[in-house]
Each structure stands twice: as structure tokens, then as C-alpha cells.
Structure 1
Amino acid sequence: MSLTVRPGFSQSAEPTGAPIPVPSGIAVHWLETLRDNQGPAGLTLRFRFVAPEVADPDYDPDKAAADLQALCDGYVLARVSEMGPQPAELVLDLADQVVPFGEANEAAVQYFEAYSIGDGACVWEFY
């Protein structure tokens, strides 16, 4: 069972707030954070972001990996400490459009990475 941390979230929610800086320079916006007690490593927090530019042919997996690492270290870690029990795993999703959690959308471009927290930083985990 997943629980959203975004008040008033609905399946038609759109990302809000100022863009979050990332190394590639694209405009990334936070969509939602989900708490999942059923993750394979234990408590999992899922941070979902939207950036239409990830569908650009010049945006590649290497840029996505760098952007997701920066989002984890610079955005996610600051918020995890405020959320209660510490997660065993963080999963970040960066998509070109809003895709309701758990639904497939073959037209969407999505990048996923998983991390654990070690020594105050996000540590990449094989996902």
C-alpha cells in the first residue's frame, strides 16, 4: 500500500513549485512523494519528478543518472529527515509527463534510480 505525502493529490495532479536545479539544466519539478512499506529492502520512499525535456533526443541515460543523483543529494535528503522513520530505500522517478503511479504508459519517457542513504549521502543501488 502506498501513501502520498502530497496533500490533495489526485490522479490528474500536475507538478508545482519552482524548478529544481540539476546538472543538465532542464526544468525539473517535484510531483509527489509516496511511502511504501512493502519495498524489497523495507520502508521505501518514492520521489516522483516531471521534466518534459527528458523526452528530448539529446537527453540520455547518463544525463538522467547525474540529474537523479543530484535530485537525491540536493532535494530528497533534506526532506527525508523530516518524514519520520528513515527509509531503507529511496526510489526516484523522472518522467516527461505525469503518469499515475503504478500505471504503464508506453508514450512516456521515464528514468528510475534506487538509492540507500549512507554517510549523509545518496548511495546508488542496482534497481
Structure 2
Amino acid sequence: MTHFIHSSLAVLLCCLSVPLAAQERLVLPSGNEVIVQEILWDSEGATSRFRFVAPWIAAEGADSASILEDMTVLCRDFALPVQQALHPGSEELVISFASEPVEFGVMNSEVVQYFEGFIAAGQDCIWSEF
């Protein structure tokens, strides 16, 4: 898992300045891949939103339990270290997957989206219902 963290943080630095099409894919425990679309913080920096493009979630039979597991690992091993480095006082994280890029806050009934909230607890992410 350490390799995932180090390569993911390197990817993050690239993602902040490289167009979406050129970004490296992150491989999840399920074997599926995601691409960082964007990372957002609210005005106080208390909540971070890590938005990923995951085309495979639109496929029939996508398993929501597996998606939650992937999101939990992504939160712990990717999002939490970034959040702690950039906004150390932040506690809330939202991980979202979309089957294609969507502008933040815009509804699109043709795009499959999953959202999960987490609370930072030390070096771990605890799932939190919205």
C-alpha cells in the first residue's frame, strides 16, 4: 500500500497542472481505475472534496459494496495525506466517482455518480452518512 501512497501523491502534483486527458490513472483494490478530476475545499477549509472520473461505474452490475471499499482506501491512502498536508485542521472528506467529468454542482441524469462522506480519524477515514 505504501507504493500506492507515494505514487498517488506524485500523481496529485501532476494532476494539479496537467489536463485531464494526460493524467495518470490510479489503480484501486478492486482492480478498477480512476482519474483525479479535481480537488476542492470549502471556504473555511474544513471539508475537502476529491472528485474522480470512473467510467466503469456506469457498467451494468457495478458493485456498490466494492465501490465503497475502493472509496475508503482512496480516502485513507490518497485523500487524507493530501488533506493533512494542505489543510491539517480539516476533518471532513467527500470522495466522489462520476462515470464522466461533470462540473461541480451540476446535475446530469446521464452521468452515474457515487458520493461518500468520511471523517478523518488519525491516519484513517471513517465512513459517515450524509
- TM-score scaled to structure 2, two decimals? 0.79
Alpha-carbon distance in structure 2 between the residues aligned to 1:117 and 1:100? 26
Structure 2 alignment gaps of length 5 or more: 1-14
Alpha-carbon distance in structure 2 between the residues aligned to 1:20 and 1:75? 10
Corresponding residue SS for 2:50: strand
Q: 1:23 maps to what in 2?
A: 29
My pick for the range that moved more, 101-110 or 87-96, is 87-96
1:102–1:15 distance in 2 versus 1, CA, 3 Å: farther
**Aligned residue among 71, 79, 83 for 1:76:** 79
Deviation per CA, 1:16-51: give whole Å up to 9, x if none. 43221212211211111001136xxx8110000001
Question: What amino acid maps onto 2:59 in structure 1?
Answer: D
Asked whether the equivalents of residues 15 and 50 of structure 1 are also in contact (C-alpha less than 8 Å), the reply is no
Q: CA deviation at 1:8?
A: 6.4
Question: What amino acid maps onto 2:24 in structure 1?
Answer: A
Relative to its length, the structure with more helix (as a share) is 2
Deviation per CA, 1:43-86: give whole Å up to 9, x if none. 11000000111111121211210111111011112211221342
Identity of aligned residues (%): 33
Alpha-carbon distance in structure 2 between the residues aligned to 1:22 and 1:115? 18
| Poorly superposed stretches of 4+, deviation over 6 Å | none
Q: Does 1:33 align with 2:39?
A: yes
Alpha-carbon distance in structure 2 between the residues aligned to 1:70 and 1:15? 24
Relative to its length, the structure with more strand (as a share) is 1
How many residues align? The count is 117
- TM-score scaled to structure 1, two decimals? 0.81
Corresponding residue SS for 1:37: coil
Asked whether the equivalents of residues 26 and 53 of structure 1 are also in contact (C-alpha less than 8 Å), the reply is yes
Q: 1:3 maps to what in 2?
A: none
